[in-house]
């Protein structure tokens, strides 16, 4: 398409080009939805619980609808359709690897991630149709989360954050000791917000640890297996550090999910999907740690999150290298390389 045609397309009231943000977010949504579609197809074929199965089926229908909409958008915008993940990346007939309860918790976690991601996308979407697409995703994710919460509560498997006593009055900080631990004195009790982030990060690491244990148990590639084992060890270490911070304030830590992993050694997913899924969990973890740093007022906790973020960022590089080695890493849309265009023979 010529530059003049591009200009005409941008200026047309009814055919506005996608911004870089919209293009990138749609690409990322396609990768995520095609991955989740594979996982839910497997879960649907293995789930035996009559209350959990309908939520899996509904979530699968939502993901499949997203993929159809995204393909239409890519075609209308004359963009290449990403490869993402297909039926070649899932074996729905593989033996059961996770319990039904774990599947339910997986849906709870992914719905929270989807709500957060859709909120960001809505904030940077300029076009009405793209904004509406992500608004719909936000509502769908909220509905799935509510379904999961109700079933989890009815089954007694819902994990609540710790309780604290109601404050009896409003207090104001009078000493810097609220922020710093001077001269080895005992640290002040955790605030409600600090407890929230510790709870969230234990939960996400517990999910990641169980999934990486399962992935290591079934994957074929030796590099990927070592990658999953390392990730399991990192997640376990982080869980212990966050649990210790809660214990220091005499608060309980939530349970882990290792016991919901079964003994199958047959892979339900391709090594490509499992490595990609792990890199997605790493990105979510880094985002969660960043949010915690921004809201925690105890400097020892901020320092802990910063240090652990650096550790998982290095771990993420290992995953990217494995995907590059096997030609699994799909390139997202990129800005034009102006220098390459300038140097191109005329």
Quick: pLDDT tens for 217-246: 999 999 999 999 999 999 999 999 999 999
The residues spanned by each domain of the chain are 18-155, 188-325
Cα–Cα distance between 157 and 153 in angstroms, integer?
6
Over residues 313-331, mean pLDDT? 95
pTM, entire model: 0.89
CA distances from 67 to 33, 184, 236, 309 (A): 7, 55, 34, 32
The answer on pLDDT for 94 being more than 60 is: yes
User: What's the DSSP call for residue 266?
Assistant: S
Higher pLDDT: 186 or 134? It is 134
Residues ≥6 apart with Cβ < 8 Å to 70: 26, 29, 30, 33
Asked if domains 18-155 and 188-325 share a fold, the reply is yes
Q: Would you say 265 and 219 are in contact if contact means Cβ atoms under 8 Å apart? A: no
Q: What is the average per-residue pLDDT within 142-147? A: 97
Distance of alpha carbon 299 from its chain centroid, rounded?
A: 26
Structure tokens at 113: 């991630």
In the chain, % of residues over pLDDT 70: 92
- Position 273 scores a pLDDT of 98
Per-residue pLDDT tens for 18-56?
Answer: 999 999 999 999 999 999 999 999 999 999 999 999 999
CATH topology of domain 188-325: Ferritin (1.20.1260)
Q: Which CATH class is domain 18-155?
A: mainly alpha
């Amino acid at each position: 398409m010529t530059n003049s045609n591009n200009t005409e397309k941008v200026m047309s009231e009814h055919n506005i080009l996608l911004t870089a943000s919209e293009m990138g977010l749609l690409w990322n949504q396609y990768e995520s939805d095609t991955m989740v579609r594979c996982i839910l197809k497997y879960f649907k074929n293995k789930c035996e619980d009559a209350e959990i199965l309908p939520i899996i089926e509904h979530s699968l229908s939502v993901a499949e609808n997203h993929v159809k909409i995204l393909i239409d958008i890519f075609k209308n915008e004359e963009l290449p359709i990403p490869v993402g993940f297909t039926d070649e990346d899932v074996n729905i007939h593989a033996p059961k690897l996770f319990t039904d309860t774990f599947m339910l918790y997986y849906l709870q976690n992914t719905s929270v991630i989807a709500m957060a991601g859709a909120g960001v996308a809505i904030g940077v979407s300029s076009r009405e149709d793209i904004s509406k697409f992500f608004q719909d995703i936000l509502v769908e994710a909220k509905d799935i989360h509510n379904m999961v919460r109700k079933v989890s509560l009815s089954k007694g498997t819902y994990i609540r954050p710790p309780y604290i006593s109601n404050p009896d009055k409003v207090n104001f900080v009078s000493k810097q000791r609220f922020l710093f631990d001077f001269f080895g004195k005992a640290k002040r009790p955790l605030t409600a917000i600090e407890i929230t982030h510790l709870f969230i990060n234990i939960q996400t690491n517990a999910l990641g640890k169980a999934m990486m244990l399962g992935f290591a148990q079934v994957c074929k590639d030796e590099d990927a297996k070592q990658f999953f084992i390392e990730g399991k060890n990192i997640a376990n270490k982080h869980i212990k550090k966050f649990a210790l911070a809660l214990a220091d304030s005499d608060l309980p830590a939530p349970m882990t999910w290792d016991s919901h992993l079964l003994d199958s050694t047959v892979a339900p997913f391709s090594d490509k999907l499992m490595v990609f899924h792990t890199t997605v969990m790493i990105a979510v973890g880094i985002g969660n740690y960043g949010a915690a740093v921004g809201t925690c007022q105890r400097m020892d906790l901020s320092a802990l999150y910063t240090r652990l973020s650096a550790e998982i960022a290095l771990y993420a590089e290992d995953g990217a290298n494995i995907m590059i080695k096997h030609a699994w890493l799909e390139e997202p849309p990129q800005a034009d390389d102006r220098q390459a265009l300038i140097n191109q023979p005329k």
